[in-house]
């Protein structure tokens, strides 16, 4: 809805309480207590870039998650999964050596492909996952890396696939629950990944994007993962295309056929940056392109 009651300075109703947490699980529990209040609509605050910028008047209070130790990227060993704290910023993610080294650097590239350089210094991975914007390349990249989301709720920590989280995102977060971490499992040997986008300008938010990860052995596809952005409210994975690719020779014809399947499977709505028809066509072009590049990587 188009509004003109846009407040540059936040209205009094936006935030009525401000809570700083002291860290650790105790801090997480305190945060959940605040989020659970029935009479005050409270939301977690990470970098603030999206939340404060949106100035949603329905939000009564925020809980600042800084100082909970959620801003750490850790890898147990070279072959292990990468643990990305929810408050890791996009710029930190884009620059982290282990992130750049795995999945052909697609997570780092995708983290970079959003907003301006100054915004990325505050915008967090957790914020991106909580928002799950349909055209956010980071979500698509995490999807094709089979990333897991770690949620913390009253019953403790839960790890679930990002794709499942996206399906039930609103209910899961309303529990209430906090996103504490993303886990990118170590890629299987022979895995290459890639991101393909179309945008009005080179650094603009993509209109449509595709992320792909392919694991191959002797020219045949062992595993395939494909995600699209800009074609639905949230980035989507395309398991049907992925299953179809497995055990096939990854010829140009195969990749083009996979792209065509992808285009058939999505049902985008158009907006001023691209019509439904264009987005569907680009889903096919970019899916094939991401797969082709993933194969080359």
Partner 1 sequence: MQLQFILNGKPQAWDVAVNESLLDALRRHGVFSVKHGCETGECGACTVLLDGVPVISCTMLAAQAGGHAVVTIEAQGEHPEQGWRHTPGLSALQQAFIETGAIQCGYCTPAQLLAAEASLAENPNPSEAEVRQALSGVLCRCTGYVKPVEAVLAAAARMRGEEGISGIRYSVNQILHIEASNPQSPIPNPLEMRGMLVGKLLHSPIAHGYIKRIDVSKARALPGVHAVLTYQDIPRVVHSTAGQSDPIPGPLDFFSLDRKMRFVGDRVAAVAAETEEIAQRALALIEVEYEELPAILDPRESMAPGAPVIHDEPEYVPFGACDPQRNLAARIDINLGDVDAALAAADYVFEGEYQVPRVQQAPIEPFVCITCWDADDRLVIRTSTQTPFHARRMLAPVLGLPIKRIRVIKPRIGGGFGNKQEVMLEDICAHLTIATRRPVKMEYTREEQFVASTSRHPMIVRLRTGVMADGRIVANEMHVLSDTGAYGNHALTVTGNTGHKAMSLYPADKGPDGQSNIRFHADIVYTNLPTSGAYRGYGVPQGFFPLESHMERIARTLNLDPLAFRLQNVLQPGEEHPMSKAWSEGREAHGEIVRTNAIVECARVGAEMMGWNQRIGESANQRMGEPQIRSFADSPIRRGQGMALVMQGTAIPNLDMGAASIKMNDDGSFNLLVGATDLGTGSDTVLTQMAAEVLGCPPEDFITYSSDTDFTPFDVGAYASSTTYISGAAVVDAARVVAEQIKQVAGRMLDAPAEEIMLAERQAWAPDGRSVTLAEVALQSLHHSQQQQIMAVGSYVSPDSPPPFAAQFAQVAVDTETGQVTVEKLVMVLDCGMIVNPATASGQVEGGMTQALGYAICEEMVFDTAGRLVNPRFGDYRIFTADEMPEMQVCFVQTFEPTHPFGVKAVAEIPLNGVAPAVANAVYAAIGVQIPRIPLTPERVWRALQVHK
Contact residues: partner 1, CB under 8 A: 2, 4-12, 14-18, 20, 45, 47-50, 52-53, 55, 62, 64, 66, 115-122, 198-205, 207, 252, 256, 271-275, 278, 281-282, 285-286, 289
Instruction: Work out how close the CB of 204 gets to partner 1 at its nearest, in angstroms, rounded to a whole number.
Output: 5
State how far the alpha carbon of 248 is from the alpha carbons of 227, 253, 254, in Å: 19, 11, 8
Instruction: Work out how close the CB of 197 gets to partner 1 at its nearest, in angstroms, rounded to a whole number.
Output: 9
Instruction: Work out how close the CB of 285 gets to partner 1 at its nearest, in angstroms, rounded to a whole number.
Output: 5
DSSP 105: G
Comparing CB distances to partner 1, the nearer of 17 and 154 is 17
Strand partners, 229: 209
Taking the C-alpha atoms of residue 117 and residue 293, their distance in angstroms, rounded to an integer, is 26
Comparing CB distances to partner 1, the nearer of 24 and 57 is 57
Q: Residue 233: is it exposed, middle or buried by C-beta count within 10 angstroms (0-12/13-18/19+)?
A: exposed
Instruction: Work out how close the CB of 173 gets to partner 1 at its nearest, in angstroms, rounded to a whole number.
Output: 21
Comparing CB distances to partner 1, the nearer of 12 and 170 is 12
Instruction: Work out how close the CB of 124 gets to partner 1 at its nearest, in angstroms, rounded to a whole number.
Output: 12
Which residue's structure tokens are 């952005």? 229
Query: Do residues 127 and 62 touch, judged by C-beta distance below 8 A?
Result: no
- Alpha helices per DSSP H over 85-180: 90-95, 97-101, 106-112, 117-120, 125-131, 137-144, 162-167, 169-174
Which residue's structure tokens are 């492909």? 113
Q: Write out the E strands in 71-202.
A: 73-75, 82-85, 148-153, 156-161, 178-184, 191-198
Record the tokens describing residue 248, joined without a space: 């096939």
Comparing CB distances to partner 1, the nearer of 68 and 183 is 68
Instruction: Work out how close the CB of 155 gets to partner 1 at its nearest, in angstroms, rounded to a whole number.
Output: 29
Comparing CB distances to partner 1, the nearer of 116 and 156 is 116
Comparing CB distances to partner 1, the nearer of 50 and 180 is 50
Comparing CB distances to partner 1, the nearer of 247 and 267 is 267
Comparing CB distances to partner 1, the nearer of 45 and 144 is 45
Contacts of 273 (CB under 8 A, 6+ apart): 200, 207
Instruction: Work out how close the CB of 148 gets to partner 1 at its nearest, in angstroms, rounded to a whole number.
Output: 28
Taking the C-alpha atoms of residue 253 and residue 249, their distance in angstroms, rounded to an integer, is 10
Record the tokens describing residue 195, joined without a space: 């991101």
Query: Do residues 235 and 140 touch, judged by C-beta distance below 8 A?
Result: yes
Instruction: Work out how close the CB of 104 gets to partner 1 at its nearest, in angstroms, rounded to a whole number.
Output: 20
């Amino acid at each position: 809805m188009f509004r003109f009651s846009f407040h540059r300075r936040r209205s009094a109703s936006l935030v009525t309480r401000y809570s700083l947490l002291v860290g650790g699980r105790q801090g997480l529990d305190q945060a959940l207590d605040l989020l659970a209040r029935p009479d005050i609509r409270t939301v977690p605050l990470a970098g603030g870039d999206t939340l404060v910028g949106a100035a949603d008047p329905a939000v009564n209070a925020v809980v600042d998650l800084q100082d909970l130790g959620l801003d750490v990227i850790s890898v147990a060993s070279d072959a292990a999964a990468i643990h990305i704290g929810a408050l890791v910023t996009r710029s930190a993610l884009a620059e982290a050596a282990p992130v750049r080294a795995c999945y052909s650097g697609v997570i780092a590239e995708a983290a970079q492909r959003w907003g301006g350089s100054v915004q990325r210094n505050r915008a967090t991975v957790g914020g991106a996952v909580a928002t799950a914007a349909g055209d956010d390349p980071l979500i698509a990249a995490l999807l094709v890396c089979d990333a897991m989301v770690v949620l913390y709720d009253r019953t403790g920590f839960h790890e679930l696939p990002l794709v499942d989280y996206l399906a039930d995102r609103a209910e899961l977060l309303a529990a209430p629950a906090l996103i504490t971490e993303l886990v990118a499992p170590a890629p299987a040997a022979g895995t290459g990944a890639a991101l393909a986008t179309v945008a009005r300008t080179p650094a603009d938010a993509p209109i449509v994007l595709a992320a792909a990860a392919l694991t191959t052995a002797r020219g045949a596809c062992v595993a395939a993962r494909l995600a699209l952005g800009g074609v639905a409210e949230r980035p989507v994975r395309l398991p049907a295309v992925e299953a179809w690719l497995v055990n096939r020779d990854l010829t140009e014809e195969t990749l083009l056929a996979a792209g065509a399947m992808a285009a058939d499977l999505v049902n985008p709505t158009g907006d001023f940056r691209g019509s439904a028809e264009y987005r569907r066509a680009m889903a096919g072009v970019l899916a094939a392109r991401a797969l082709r590049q993933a194969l080359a990587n």
